[in-house]
Amino acid sequence: MDALKYHNRFNYEALPNRAGFEWPNHKRLAVYIGFNIEHFHFGSGLGANLGPSCPEPDVLNYMWRDYGNRVGVWRCLDLFEQLKIPTGAIINTALYEYCPEVIQSLLSRGDELIGHGHTNSERQGTLGESQELELIKRCREIMKEKSGVTPTGWLSPWISESLVTPDLLSEAHYAYTLNWCHDDQPTRVKTRQNLDFWSIPYPQELNDIPMIMHRQMDAVDFSQMIIDQFDEMMYQAYKGTIQKSLVMGIALHPYIVGQPYRLKHLRNALTHISKFKDDIWITTPGDICKYMNTL
């Protein structure tokens, strides 16, 4: 029988067989928040839905998402500030024109800015190679010009990739992607020019869109899910049979978890994690990538 098609970006490597390493200060669990802040076309394009899609302009679903940039993001940032938690802020560059105050607040806090396309109304994987490269490069240039910070990481809108997306990202001088959810440790990715490039674990389970919107999970249960994930990963990293250093990401969107009744329960989950600050590395994807390059 013919072998299955494979991406050939990395080889299979069983977790128990991998070389051991530790995070800074001999810690074994790195925790980060991937804070997705997005902006959308009015009257066209993609977007998560609160209710059934309506003929455009889909006022209900657009305005529900816009709540995140007007209100939810500020409540979330206030919570992160109270708990002294940094974020990897995954941003559409359309935000620079729509609500620059949000990005300025992220910069003032010292959050990492991560490229996330221009708008989440569009997928990049359907573009031709030259168009996709232009999008990737232009987003990086806008972020550098507007914020004075050059992003090193990328998450595609809707995790949309072409067959050459990792090559284009590395050639545009990004250092890592968050697109893949295949592991609990960073993975070195092969690119066509053999440039250093990493996949940093990004969660599709511990993520409010698939859990709360698609599976209709209650905010209480989503909070408990975060706590359970953390407790079990702490056990696996420090006491389990296979003790390896791990990455735990939490993917959040302010139009979802910024709703007050959900934020209350997110506060409980993040407060639980914060109690273990001396035992874990609360960090950002960019700092994880930088650390991997020192090993």
pLDDT of the chain along its 295 residues, tens only? 889 999 999 999 999 999 999 999 999 999 999 999 999 999 999 999 988 888 999 999 999 999 999 999 999 999 999 999 999 999 999 999 999 999 999 999 999 999 999 999 999 999 999 999 999 999 999 999 999 999 999 999 999 999 999 999 999 999 999 999 999 999 999 999 988 899 999 999 999 999 999 999 999 999 999 999 999 999 999 999 999 999 999 999 999 999 999 999 999 999 999 999 999 999 999 999 999 999 9
CA distance 87 to 32: 7
CA distance 37 to 74: 11
Residue 176 pairs in a beta bridge with 153, 198
Given a contact cutoff of 8 angstroms between Cβ atoms, the answer to whether 112 and 86 are in contact is: yes
Find how far residue 29's CA is from the centre of its chain. Answer: 17
Return the pLDDT at 54.
Answer: 84
Return the pLDDT at 194.
Answer: 84
Q: How far apart are the first and last CA of the chain?
A: 40
Please report the domains of the chain, with CATH numbers, ordered by start residue: 22-43+63-292 (3.20.20.370)
Return the pLDDT at 52.
Answer: 84
* β-pairing verdict for 187-188 and 198-199: antiparallel
Give 29: exposed, middle or buried? Use CB within 10 Å, 0-12, 13-18, 19+.
Answer: buried
